[in-house]
Structure 1
Amino acid sequence: MNKAKELLDELQNLDMDIQSRIDEINELEAGLLSSPKWTTDKVQGGQTRKVDDVYTQLIVMKEAIEQDTNEVINRKLELGRLINKLKNPKSRSILRMTYITKMYVDDICDKLAISKSSYYNMRRNAVDELEHILE
């Protein structure tokens, strides 16, 4: 697989990664906001764990996930900027609609008033153009 296709596949999958991180943050926030019924129980031979320690750990986890999410979002922006370097506006549009907004082929064809075979030819040319930029 060429480098351009690998980057476009990565771009297409970043939204799922970002959404899963957002869901994880929402779960942590829900846990922080709910009123815990924890007590400081001692397990024989174990250490006591205070509620404040648990909150602190949850907040640290949330901040780490947010930082990771920002890195993934920045990667998506970086890959989108590579598409912006294409000279042909239709090539940019085809790649954006396919890999960023994830439109269906039929919808792209309707929007651009082209046939499916034209779409596939234009997409192949756009990927080739992107490959040239990456070299």
Structure 2
Amino acid sequence: MSRIKTKADYILEELRLIPKTIKQLKLDIENTRSSLFTSPQWSDMKMSGGVRRTQTDKNVSIIDASDYGLAEIDRLVKRREEIIGVIMQIPDSAQRHVLLTTYLNCQTFDEAIDKLELNRNKYYTIKAKAVRSLNVILNQY
């Protein structure tokens, strides 16, 4: 039986996924912008879903999509900083170090154990205490 996820579990998973989301948004922006250069140019007007659209209209929609992606990346970077700020409030430096290493620099717990040079039991003990400490901090908000 699995345990119930806490606020800390959710924000730590969010912290781990933010870089992946940013990477996907950057790829989307790059693909969207490249379509601006590679899209076939048509005559001044073209029908799209029964609506007349000029090439300029299409170019503007591509630029708008890119702007949205950039704004979302900025929001995610700020959210990442906010989560790190909450983690930094944990009084125990070993607990902070374990969480930051695990969720910022590693994809798996085994990778974090190797990077931190801890034995498995000690790692999971410190991580469990860190998650409890983080929940205490989050429940104060």
TM-score clears 0.5 = yes
Q: 1:25 to 1:72 in 2, by over 3 A?
A: same
| 1:73 aligned onto 2:77 | yes
Partners of 1:4 and 1:130 within 8 A in 2: yes
Query: Taking structure 1 as the reference length, what is the TM-score of the superposition?
Result: 0.86
Partners of 1:3 and 1:134 within 8 A in 2: yes
| 1:57 aligned onto 2:57 | no
Aligned length: 133
| Paired residue type of 2:60 | T
User: What is the identity percentage for the equivalent residue pairs of Structure 1 and Structure 2?
Assistant: 26
Gaps of 5+ in 1: none
Partners of 2:46 and 2:54 within 8 A in 1: no
Tell me how far apart the structure 2 counterparts of residues 109 and 30 of structure 1 sit (CA, whole Å): 41
Could you tell which deviates more after superposition, 11-20 or 50-59?
Answer: 11-20
103, 124, 129: which one pairs with 2:128? 124
Query: Taking structure 2 as the reference length, what is the TM-score of the superposition?
Result: 0.82
User: What secondary structure does 1:48 align onto?
Assistant: strand
| 1:26 aligned onto 2:26 | no
Deviation string 1:77-101 (CA, Å, 9 cap, x unpaired) is 1111111111111111110111111
| Paired residue type of 2:101 | M
Tell me how far apart the structure 2 counterparts of residues 112 and 65 of structure 1 sit (CA, whole Å): 34
How well do the aligned residues superpose, as a CA RMSD in angstroms? 1.9
Tell me how far apart the structure 1 counterparts of residues 40 and 131 of structure 2 sit (CA, whole Å): 52
Tell me how far apart the structure 1 counterparts of residues 82 and 56 of structure 2 sit (CA, whole Å): 39
Structure 1 runs of 4+ with >6 Å offset: none
Gaps of 5+ in 2: none
Partners of 1:105 and 1:116 within 8 A in 2: no
Q: For residue 12 of structure 1, what is the aligned residue in structure 2?
A: 16
